[in-house]
Amino acid sequence: MTDIIQLLPDAIANQIAAGEVVQRPASALKELLENAVDAGATQVQVVVRDAGKQLIQVIDNGKGMSATDARMSFERHATSKIRNSQDLFAIRTFGFRGEALASIAAVAQVELKSRQSDSELGTLIQIEGSEVKKQEPAALPIGTSVAMKNLFYNVPARRNFLKSNPVEMRHIVEEFQRVVLSYPEIAFSLFQQDLEIYNLPAGKLSQRIVSLFGKSYQGLLIPCDEQTPHVNVKGYVGKPEGAKKSRGEQFFFVNNRFIKSSYLHHAVNLAFEGLIANDQHPFYVLFLEIDPAHIDINVHPTKTEIKFEDERTVYGVIRSAVKQALGAHHVMPTLDFSL
């Protein structure tokens, strides 16, 4: 008899896990932004070079990490956000898997700098391919900076698989938009090479929408607000005259987490029936608040798809919330698009 089964070394296990968490530069950005938000930052700066292939850096002024935690944060399943299986059903942070930093450090060169407000010195860690190259105390501002360099430098097949810079940059902006919309009270900026392409001061959601998408949105936003025992819906829908042929400016958030749902998208479209042409899509940024016990966000590692216990109720509430908002603003079917 010969035994042939072995446990994989951490670096390889991390690299395999990374395949799910980090598909492209934008997925790393999402994870780093979420960590900054989870850390209670009020200011977050993003620096991107070469569409994230060369660099994605996220700098926050959040609570920072101790020297030990800074090192621990790169271990797989290392998280400060849940402790037991009960916590899984009451998740209020973005993160909980403890996989992002471990995955990113497995497939890139990472430099982490972090300092907590009660420490005089911070910690600098350089790690590549899951291997710590340097760890030392350093004079640093309060908060955390994570720089991810040369994504997939050690996985050439995946590096070659990355799309052109315009395509990767579009994904980056998309992820950025999703996070900044759900946290208008946090100031965000985004630099591409040395150019500041977004500068979003802290403010209200309506201001965030306008600074993100442009002044033309100023007069187009209709507030939406409906509370039911099961789910609350809040946010803005665009006036019908602002509807566009291209999809893309439709955002659902569940407990502040961006989700994709063609089912719920349909509920909004139905509320706009007769108001916009069939080939047009309304603008919306809608936030659903729902008891975490009634949803499952653990469906997919990137967490953009979730399961609702009672999808039909949610559908109904969204549709009625949007209809009411449009009605309250006297948006009536005036054009007959069937002609």
Interacting residue ranges for Mg ion, rule: CB under 5 A: 35, 95, 100
Q: Of 88 and 167, which has the nearer Cβ to ligand ADP?
A: 88
Taking CB under 6 A as the criterion, the residue among 144, 192, 261, 269 binding ligand ADP is 144
| 64 Cβ contact list (under 8 Å, min separation 6) | 39, 114, 115, 116, 117, 119, 122, 142, 143, 144
Cα of 24 vs its chain's centroid, Å: 14
| Alpha helices in the chain, H assignment, sequence order | 10-21, 25-38, 67-72, 100-106, 156-161, 165-182, 205-213, 262-271, 311-328
Taking CB under 6 A as the criterion, the residue among 52, 62, 238, 282 binding ligand ADP is 62
Q: Indicate whether 197 belongs to the interface with ligand ADP (CB under 6 A).
A: no
Residue 79 touches which of ligand ADP, Mg ion, none (Cβ within 5-8 Å per kind): ligand ADP
Q: Of 147 and 237, which has the nearer Cβ to Mg ion?
A: 147
Residue 211 touches which of ligand ADP, Mg ion, none (Cβ within 5-8 Å per kind): none
Nearest to 286 by CA among 310, 320, 309, 312: 320
Residue 159 touches which of ligand ADP, Mg ion, none (Cβ within 5-8 Å per kind): none
Taking CB under 6 A as the criterion, the residue among 36, 108, 212, 271 binding ligand ADP is 36
In angstroms, the CA 86 to CA 82 distance is 9
> What does the DSSP assignment read for 165-215?
HHHHHHHHHHHHHHHHHH-TTSEEEEEETTEEEEEE-S--HHHHHHHHH-G
Footprint of ligand ADP on 84-123 (CB under 6 A): 95-102
Q: Residue 326 in 3-state DSSP?
A: helix
Footprint of ligand ADP on 247-286 (CB under 6 A): none
* Cβ at position 40, least distance to ligand ADP in Å: 8
In angstroms, the CA 96 to CA 82 distance is 6
Q: Of 68 and 338, which has the nearer Cβ to ligand ADP?
A: 68
Position with the least CB separation from Mg ion: 95
Q: Of 172 and 212, which has the nearer Cβ to Mg ion?
A: 172
Name the site residues for ligand ADP (rule: CB under 6 A): 31, 35-36, 39, 60, 62-65, 73, 78-81, 95-102, 144
